[in-house]
């Protein structure tokens, strides 16, 4: 077993964790700077706050999907690889489940 | 002897559900919502625990039954489908409740400023009257508590009226409370803030409108019409 395969087990959920920290941090930064009160006409009236949160969400979703694609290609390399692949799928599902709120939840007071 | 001990232990545990700080005795809409979510989670958690315990017992007592059900199917249902359904329900309930507790897109309400400092709470009312470690509220009305801190992060929590919110230096947070009826409720600091954290408590007294106006030094006729002239920015 090469050490890399062990690290790959956590690859999907590392992307999830980075998304969590990024969304949490930028939510607070946006509220502090009043981005929720900046409506963007070119984005159909969406606030700058919601737009940046959605952008962070989508970037991480793409990164999570890329991890899934790569691990799918490596699936047959050894015992831990398919496990890492399924863990990455679970992480992608968890991202949608826990972060989709950026589309509809209130962001600031 | 065992029965006596069980009754004593049960009584001790249940007695913790009572008192001025009991979130299980809500006296306002926000606290009631949180209480409801707590009961839903308790029931769901108990059901999950019993189901897992039942499967575990079956594995010892009737392993053939589990074998007939199939290992893959057990993992699929027990490990994926059932937890997902339960979690989705709880998350939906929590999101809906969170939207109601947050003060957004709601009508204006009476505003009271709360300043936390080590280790006391200072409340300021629309007329300029101030109290320390004692918060007066009008019963049956929405009140926005505008929270901030002078030194470190504190946590404002009146368990019988609503959720917790941090009081942060250089920043204002707003929590909306409503006491359904007159009474005295307990409040605590819910964020560790130093050696005086544990005794950093305050009382909340909810009054009838006239009594509230008297308590905070307002003319009685102003008590009904001061909804929007509170101080402190959002």
- Interface predicted TM-score (ipTM) of this complex, two decimals: 0.74
What is the residue-averaged pLDDT of chain A?
89
Contacts of A87 in chain B (CB under 8 A): none
The answer to whether B191 touches B155, Cβ cutoff 8 Å, is yes
The model's pLDDT over B109-121, given as tens digits with 9 standing for 90+, comes to 889 999 999 999 9
B176 and B202 fall within a common domain: yes
Q: Are residues B95 and B129 in the same domain?
A: no
CATH classification at residue B192: 2.60.40.420
Asked if residue B150 belongs to a domain, the reply is yes
> Reduced to 3 states, what is the DSSP secondary structure of residue B28?
coil
- Establish if B9 belongs to a structural domain: no
Using the predicted structure, report yes or no on whether residue A39 has a pLDDT greater than 70: yes
Last residue within a domain, chosen from B37, B68, B101: B101
Q: Give the number of beta-carbon pairs within 8 Å between A and B.
A: 20
Q: Does residue B131 sit in the same domain as residue B171?
A: yes
A109–B104 CB contact, under 8 Å = yes
* φ, ψ dihedrals at B100, nearest 5°: -75, -35
Domain termination site, one of B81, B101, B121: B101
Domain boundaries, chain A: 3-103
How far, in Å, CA of B159 to CA of B15, rounded? 16
Do B133 and B63 reside in the same domain of the chain?
no
Same domain, B52 and B137: no
- Residues B120, B216, single domain; the answer is yes
Minimum CA–CA partner of B172 in chain A: A109
For residue B28, the enclosing domain spans 20-101
On whether both B36 and B117 belong to a single domain, the answer is: no
Q: Is B64 inside a domain boundary?
A: yes
- In this complex, the residue of B95, B173, B234 whose CB is nearest that of residue A105 is B95
Mutate to test the interface with A, among B102, B106, B163, B176 (most CBs of A within 10 A): B102
State whether residue B163 is helix, strand or coil: coil
* Beta-carbon contacts of residue B45 (< 8 Å; ≥ 6 apart): none
pLDDT at position B94 is 82
Domain count for chain B, please give it.
2
Q: Name the band, by pLDDT with cuts 50, 70 and 90, for residue B70.
A: confident
For chain A, say whether B86 makes contact (Cβ under 8 Å): no
Whole-angstrom Cα distance, residue B14 to residue B32? 19
B56 & B144 share domain: no
B88, B95, B103 ranked by CB distance to A109: nearest: B103
One domain, residues B143 and B217: yes
pLDDT in tens, B206-223: 999 888 988 888 876 655
End position of a domain, from candidates B79, B101, B123: B101
**Residue of chain A nearest B175, judged by CA positions:** A109
A108 touching B (Cβ < 8 Å): yes
Give the 3-state secondary structure of residue A93: helix
Tell me, what's the pLDDT at B231? Answer: 39
Q: Does A29 touch chain B (CB under 8 A)?
A: no
pTM of the model: 0.72
């Amino acid at each position: 077993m090469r050490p890399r395969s062990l690290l790959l087990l956590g690859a999907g959920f590392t992307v999830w964790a980075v998304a969590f920290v990024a969304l949490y941090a930028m939510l607070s930064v946006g509220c502090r700077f009043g981005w929720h009160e900046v409506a963007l006409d070119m984005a159909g009236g969406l606030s700058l706050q919601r737009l940046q949160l959605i952008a962070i969400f989508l970037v991480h979703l793409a990164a999570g999907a890329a991890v899934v694609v790569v691990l799918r290609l490596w699936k047959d390399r050894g015992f831990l690889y398919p496990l890492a692949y399924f863990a990455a799928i679970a992480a992608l599902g968890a991202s949608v489940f826990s972060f989709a709120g950026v589309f509809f939840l209130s962001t600031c007071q | 002897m065992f029965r006596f001990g069980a009754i004593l232990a049960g009584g001790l545990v249940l007695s913790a559900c009572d008192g001025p700080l009991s979130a299980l005795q809500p006296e306002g809409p926000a606290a009631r919502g949180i209480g409801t979510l707590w009961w839903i989670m308790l029931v769901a958690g108990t059901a999950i625990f019993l189901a897992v315990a039942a499967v575990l017992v079956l594995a010892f007592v009737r392993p053939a039954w589990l074998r007939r059900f199939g290992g893959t199917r057990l993992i699929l249902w027990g490990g994926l489908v059932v937890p997902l359904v339960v979690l989705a329900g709880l998350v939906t309930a929590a999101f809906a409740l969170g939207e109601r507790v947050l003060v957004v897109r709601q009508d204006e309400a009476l505003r009271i400023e709360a300043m936390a400092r080590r280790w006391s709470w200072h409340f300021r009312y629309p007329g300029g009257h101030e109290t320390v470690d004692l918060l007066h509220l009008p019963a049956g009305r929405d009140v926005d508590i505008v929270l901030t801190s002078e030194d470190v992060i504190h946590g404002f929590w009146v368990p019988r009226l609503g959720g917790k919110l941090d009081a942060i230096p250089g920043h204002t947070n707003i929590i909306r409370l409503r006491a359904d009826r007159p009474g005295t409720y307990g409040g605590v600091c819910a964020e560790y803030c130093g050696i005086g954290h544990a005794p950093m408590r305050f009382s909340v007294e909810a009054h009838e409108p006239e009594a509230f106006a008297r308590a905070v030094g307002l003319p009685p006729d102003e008590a009904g019409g001061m909804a929007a002239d509170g101080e402190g920015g959002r």
